């Protein structure tokens, strides 16, 4: 039986699509624990070693580096396999020096992978576009292309506000830096940066199922977001939602407050004028 406690600081983040994680669902009767591993445990290959061992044992969950130098692990599955992974954490890979491991029983979350979290999945960009209708384009790098959604009112940092996002055709990465006049309008790069995939389901399967969680590291947009598909079809409709985390800004309107391009500093109205 696994016992102890965990420091729950920090926010769990996702690993990219090529994580080699286990893509299956936790069985009925599964147990789950959270572990905090302290000592010389970062920068020594501990996360990769934990990923490999989890795959061998068939357990699901995640591992990530904590902000305080610890290693944080969520693991769920058959109890004997979970306890074997915890036993592995007490020793770690050869270069690690484990001082202590604190463990707590937690609720099974229903993960369908074991992944390294806190690792970039690629780039994202938000372009403001004046065309037939003025809108913002959110694009996330997935499998070498930019998955794209038109967001009429633009993104928000207020978790209470849900934005309509209409899925459109994929774009190439080369389009990410485009800024300037277009026929009948213009485009600015309103925000850009890198992002991390999140959630319990591997990407890009999460997008195909219609619910995807991710973390943005932009100049204006930061923290957790979710895309929830509400209507399928030729141009599926989604909701873009800011998650409630330390980066959230209730009551704010980032589109109104920060209209400028992150490349040129010009607002779209200035470009069009």
Phi, psi of 139 (to 5 degrees): -130, 135
On the 0-12 / 13-18 / 19+ scale of CB atoms within 10 A, 22 is buried
Q: What is the largest CA-CA distance in the chain?
A: 69
DSSP calls for 61-86: EEEEE-TTS-EEEEEEESHHHHHHHH
**Which residues are the active-site residues?**
47, 65
Query: Within a 13 Å sphere around the CA of 112, how many CA atoms are in the beta-carbon half?
Result: 14
The two beta strands, 31-40 and 71-77, are antiparallel
The C-alpha atoms of residue 84 and residue 165 are separated, in whole angstroms, by 44
155: helix, strand or coil: coil
The C-alpha atoms of residue 238 and residue 52 are separated, in whole angstroms, by 35
Cis omega (within 30 of 0) for bond into 115:
no
The C-alpha atoms of residue 80 and residue 138 are separated, in whole angstroms, by 44
Phi, psi of 244 (to 5 degrees): -80, 105
Give the length of the chain. 273
Contacts (Cβ under 8 Å, ≥6 apart) of 169 = 148
């Amino acid at each position: 039986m696994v016992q102890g406690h965990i420091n729950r600081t920090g926010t769990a983040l996702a690993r990219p699509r090529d994580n080699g994680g286990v893509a299956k669902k936790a069985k009925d009767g599964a147990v789950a624990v959270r572990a905090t591993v302290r000592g010389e445990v970062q920068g020594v290959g501990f996360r990769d070693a934990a990923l490999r061992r989890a795959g061998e044992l068939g357990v699901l969950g995640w591992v990530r580096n904590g902000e305080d130098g610890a290693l944080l692990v969520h693991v769920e599955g058959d109890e004997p396999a979970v306890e074997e992974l915890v036993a592995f954490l007490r020793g770690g890979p050869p270069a690690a020096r484990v001082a202590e491991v604190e463990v707590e029983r937690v609720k099974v979350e229903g993960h369908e992978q074991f992944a390294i979290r806190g690792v970039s999945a690629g780039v994202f960009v938000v372009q403001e576009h004046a065309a037939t209708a003025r809108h913002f384009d959110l694009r996330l790098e997935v499998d070498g292309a930019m998955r794209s959604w038109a967001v009429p009112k633009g993104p928000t940092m207020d978790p209470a506000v849900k934005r309509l996002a209409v899925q459109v055709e994929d774009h190439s990465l080369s389009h990410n830096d485009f800024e300037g006049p277009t026929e009948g309008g213009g485009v600015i790069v309103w925000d850009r940066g890198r992002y991390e995939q999140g959630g319990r389901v591997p990407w890009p399967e999460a997008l195909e199922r219609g619910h995807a969680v991710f973390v943005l590291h932009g100049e204006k947009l930061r923290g957790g977001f979710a895309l929830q598909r509400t209507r399928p079809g030729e141009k599926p409709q989604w909701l873009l939602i800011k998650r409630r985390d330390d980066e959230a800004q209730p009551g704010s309107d980032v589109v109104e407050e920060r209209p400028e391009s992150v490349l040129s500093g010009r607002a779209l109205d200035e470009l069009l004028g």
